[in-house]
Amino acid sequence: MEGPCMEQACLASVIYAGVNLKPRVRPKGELLAHAKDFLDQYFASIRSEYFDLRT
């Protein structure tokens, strides 16, 4: 059985996009936790790059 991926390209993200995604309203607490985690990681990476540039 031949799949969507070839040696130089994989079409899975195009072909199967949204297959298992069911829209839902997330609870405010879950959304805030994900947002805080994202921002913590983002600013940690910026600080890391800033300190790497200074040394």
Q: What is the pLDDT of residues 1-54, one digit of tens each?
A: 355 666 676 665 555 555 566 778 999 999 999 999 999 999 998 887 777 666
The answer as to whether 3 is a domain residue is no
Which residues lie below 8 Å from residue 10, measured CB to CB, with a gap of 6+?
4
Q: Compute, in degrees rounded to 10, the torsion defined by CA atoms 47, 49, 54, 55.
A: 110
Bin 18: left if φ > 0, else alpha if -120 < ψ < 50, else beta.
left
The answer as to whether 4 is a domain residue is no
pTM of the entire predicted model: 0.49
Angle at 30 between CA 29 and CA 35, to 5 degrees: 100
Residues spanned by the domain of 48: 26-54
Residue 42 corresponds to which tokens in the numbers above?
């983002």
* Tally of structural domains, the chain: 1
